[in-house]
Each structure stands twice: as C-alpha cells, then as structure tokens.
Amino acid sequence: MSKPVTGDTGQVARRKRKRFGCLAVILVAVLVVMLPVGVLVVRILEDPKITRNYAVEYNSQMVGVPEYDKGWPIYREAILAASDHPIPDSIAANWPKTATWSNWSDAVLWVEQMQQPLSLVREASKRPILGLPLSDATDPDLNQANFQVWYKHEPATPPSANPLLFGASLAHLSMIREMTKALKLESIVFLEQGDSDRAIENCEALLRMSVQINQLDMFSEQLFQIALDSAASRSLLFSIQTYPDQFDEGQLSRLQETFTVHGQLDSTATQGIARFVATFDTELVILEDILQRAYSDDGQGDGHLTIEGAQVFQDLGSTSRLVAIFGPKSRRRIISDFESAVPFLNENAARHPWNRPDSFQTSVDALNSNHSIMAVVPGILRIETFTPGWYKAIAAADQLNAEHDATIAVIALYRHRLKYDTFPDALGDLVPEFLPYLPLDPINGQPMRYKVVNSNPVLYSISADHIDNGGTRNEDGGDVYPGAPPNRKGDWVIFPLKTPVDWFADETP
C-alpha cells in the first residue's frame, strides 16, 4: 500500500518538475543557438577547392613560341647587364631632367656606361611578344641585379606552384619599366649632342614596349601600357619643345606615322586619331582565381567564404578574418554580379568620353561602394581591391587618347613650321595636308583649343569645368586632367609641357 503524498513531498515533486522544465527549456535554447553556430563553424572551417592553375594554362600557350619572338629573355639580359653600372648617388638623389642640372656630367657618364643594356632594351622591344611567363617569383640573379641598379638589395621570393593571377609578374614588369627612365635620360643626352635619331629610336621603343607589356589584357598590364604610352608622348613633346630645330621633315613624318599607326588600336575610330580602349573581360578570370582560393565549391558553381579565404582577402589588404562570420555573398552571386557589370564597363569604356551618360561616374562609384559586387560586408571589402579605381582607369585611357592625339598634332604643327616658316593660324589649317583628323577635346568632343603665344604653339583641353580659360592652368600651376572634379578650375595644357618635371613625372594613372 503506497504512502500518501504529504504537502511537503508534493512541493518537492513540483520543484523537481519545474527544475527539469527549466533545464529542458535551456537545453532547447542552447541547441537552437548552437545548431546554426555548429553549421557555421563547419562552413567556415571547410577548405577551398582549387581546381585550376590559370598561370600554367597561360604559360602553356607559349610553349611553341620560338625564343627569337620573345622580348623577355633580352630584357632579362639587359637588366643583368645594367647591374654592372649602378646609378650614382648624385643622380639617384636628384634625377637630372635637363642639361642645366648640377649633376649633368655624372648623368652623361652613366648613360655612356649604360649603352649595352639600353641597346638590348631597344632590341627586345622589336620582338613580336613579351613572352614573360606568369609567376609570383623572381630568380635571385635577376632580382639582385635589379635592386643593385635601382634600389637596395631585397631577397628574391620563392615561386609558387599555383601563383595567384592577381599581381603575378608585376615585379618583372616593374623592372622593365625602370629601364624606361634610363631610355628617357639617354634621349636628352643624345639631343644635347645633336643626335635626334637616338631620341626617335627611344620614343619608338617605348611605344613598342607599351604594346608588348599588355600580354593578357589584365587590368594591371593595361595600366603599365598606359604609363609607357604616356611616357613616349611626353618624351617626344619634351624633345620637340626643348630642341625644336633638331628634327627635319623626314624625322617628323616618321614620328607622326609611328604614333598614328600605334594609336589605331581601334580601326573603326573616325573621331580623333588614337583610340586606346580599356577592357575588363580578363578581370573575370582573375576573380575566379581568387574565389577558388577563398570559397568552397559545391560542384554546382556555388560556395561560401572560408576561414582560409578570409585570410586570402586579408593578404590582399582587404579585410580581416572576422568577415567569414558575417555571411558574405555566395560564390555564384559574386560571379553573376560581376558578369553583369563587365559589359556595362566595357560598353562605356569604348565610348568617347563625351558620349557617355552623365550618370556614368555615379554608377561606377556605386559598384565600388555600398552596393559593391565584391562586398562581403558593405564597406569592408570593395571591388576596387581587385580592380583599382575603375572610373579613374577609364579616365586615364581618355587622357592617354587625348595626349596621343595632341602629340600627333604637335608634330604636324612643326611640320607646317618647317614648310611655311610659321605655325598655322588655326588648327584646321593642318587638315588634310598634315593631319587626317583634328585632335578632339575629351570633355566635349570639339577640336582641341589652339593658339600661338610668343611665336610658340599652345594646345589645350578645356577640362572638367567646361570653361575655356584661354590655356591657363589651375591657380596652383597644375593641369586639370580628365576626370578631375568640376570645381577644379583651369585648363589642361598638353603643349607646351609646364616644366621638365612633367616629362619625368610618374606616368602611372
């Protein structure tokens, strides 16, 4: 016979049931919280699946290319040869820009010593392709030679079996570009000695190098191409401005033909003369290479960011590992958004700047900011991490085309001067005898402004404020380039160059 339940015993039982109920509620709550956390932990700890080696795929295309068609082996030889002639401290500390520089005698001596390496650079520029294998490493000899000439020595980086396309071979391209500084200095030295042929050869070499260096139409390569092309234009403008009587009709005609043929990258161009068009298609390949290292792969084209992937972004200077916790866009969504953006960018980059919609800059800014295609968390990881300054790059291409056209027009002006002993009253007087088309202002598509001041020609763009300031630079003495804020007043005076510094300025946009 069971014992009757007393009041005290009932209270104990009720407390136990209540206690068990609370524990059950807590346990359920913990499970509710921990289950997604566990799923998240499993997700972020999953390893990316790297399925392609894009560098190897590209390098395999060069297997059958004859060595004599490649410029890179000769550039490499030039860099190694230059290591025997480090830049004197007097030049490195104050790079000479004209023969009036205090260290000019040191510059002349160094240029004489550099004749073999510079001859090799000109020879390398004549080869059909660059032929530089994609790699994230430099061989020790080449790296030491480069830093022995231009910088303090730094250790070479070891090669990766599957290097990231983003930034691959930039070190090698930088080495080639450094040699262009010596080419430009050599041009001045030879012009001072009355040899304009060498200045022409170096200018032509710079133009060939600008085409060579853009192997894959990668964005970084296009920036190098713009820089070298601009260096060629400024080199010639400086030479004509400073040594106008050293060029005869045959030399000027040769230069004009070289620049005109080089500029016709778009054979359909009928407005203006030159057309370099920035393209963004290869950036999709670079993006896919980054994503395969950062995201998981479900085999269906989708996946999520991993801890290892967050480290990839951190190494690229984008963000910290903590972003992996916040649930970024999926792999498929990023690719889809990027594929939607590239046609928009290509379409507008191919247009003349005056034919683009007024909202173009705002639209590009939107891609680069809160609505970023690559946004993991708004404002943390932006697409410009991988494609630095899309709008600025397109503006740089616009500037290059205008500068290129203006260079051809300046050559025509001096051909007119040689034949008629004076500059024309109007720019239109050059067509068709000396020019096929007039150079156009990148701001409004009208002919560039031209006038003669103190018997010297002035060629300029009205620039961002849409006001003709009569060829007057900004109040601080600087030029107002395409893409500058509209509130920056003044014109972009393309010719004459403001100072010799303009010629030796870093042409990177």
Number of folded domains that form the chain? 3
State whether 83 and 199 are in the same domain. yes
State whether 398 and 302 are in the same domain. no
Whether 284 contacts 37, CB under 8 Å = no
- Phi and psi at residue 167, to the nearest 5°: 90, 0
In the chain, what percentage of residues exceed pLDDT 70? 75
State whether 185 and 301 are in the same domain. no
Better-scored residue on pLDDT, 81 or 12? 81
State whether 85 and 172 are in the same domain. yes
Cβ neighbourhood burial of 267 (10 Å; 0-12, 13-18, 19+): exposed
Residue whose token pair is 């894959």: 216
Residue 13 lies in a domain: no
Q: What is the Cα–Cα distance from 388 to 404, expressed in whole angstroms?
A: 23
Lowest mean pLDDT among 231-240, 465-474, 479-488, 498-507: 498-507
Q: What is the mean pLDDT of the chain?
A: 80
The DSSP secondary structure of 85-116, one letter per residue, reads SPPPHHHHHS---STTSTTHHHHHHHHHHTHH
Q: What is the pLDDT of residue 44?
A: 55
Residue 57 lies in a domain: no
Q: What is the pLDDT of residue 295?
A: 87
Residue 323 lies in a domain: yes
Q: Which of 197, 213, 229 is at the close of a domain? A: 213
pLDDT tens-digit profile of 331-367? 888 888 788 888 888 899 888 888 888 888 777 777 6
State whether 414 and 344 are in the same domain. no
Residues 6+ apart with CB under 8 A from 382: 318, 368, 369, 372, 374, 375
Q: What is the domain range of residue 176?
A: 62-213
Q: What is the pLDDT of residue 389?
A: 66
Structure-token pair, residue 283: 């950036």
State whether 401 and 357 are in the same domain. no
Q: What is the pLDDT of residue 339?
A: 84
Whether 497 contacts 238, CB under 8 Å = yes
State whether 424 and 373 are in the same domain. no
Lowest mean pLDDT among 18-27, 133-142, 331-340, 424-433: 18-27
- 3-state class (DSSP) for residue 440: strand
Does residue 408 have a pLDDT over 90?
Answer: yes
State whether 138 and 175 are in the same domain. yes
Q: What is the pLDDT of residue 317?
A: 59
pLDDT tens-digit profile of 214-229? 887 887 888 888 989 9
Q: Which of 191, 213, 235 is at the close of a domain? A: 213
pLDDT tens-digit profile of 34-50? 555 555 555 556 778 88
State whether 339 and 424 are in the same domain. no
Residue 17 lies in a domain: no
Q: What is the Cα–Cα distance from 420 to 57, expressed in whole angstroms?
A: 57
pLDDT tens-digit profile of 378-393? 333 444 454 446 777 8
Residue 72 lies in a domain: yes
Q: Which of 162, 193, 213 is at the close of a domain? A: 213
State whether 204 and 67 are in the same domain. yes
Does residue 373 have a pLDDT over 60?
Answer: no
Other beta carbons within 10 angstroms of residue 451's beta carbon come to 15
State whether 399 and 456 are in the same domain. yes
Q: What is the pLDDT of residue 449?
A: 96
Confidence bin at 477 (pLDDT 50/70/90): low
Residue 76 lies in a domain: yes
Better-scored residue on pLDDT, 401 or 37? 401
Confidence bin at 186 (pLDDT 50/70/90): very high
Whole-prediction pTM value? 0.83
CA 255 to chain centre: 26
Buried b / exposed e along 495-508 (16+ C-beta atoms within 10 A): bbbeebebbbeebe
State whether 351 and 400 are in the same domain. no
Does residue 3 have a pLDDT over 60?
Answer: no
Strands of 449-453's sheet in order across: 449-453, 456-461, 492-495
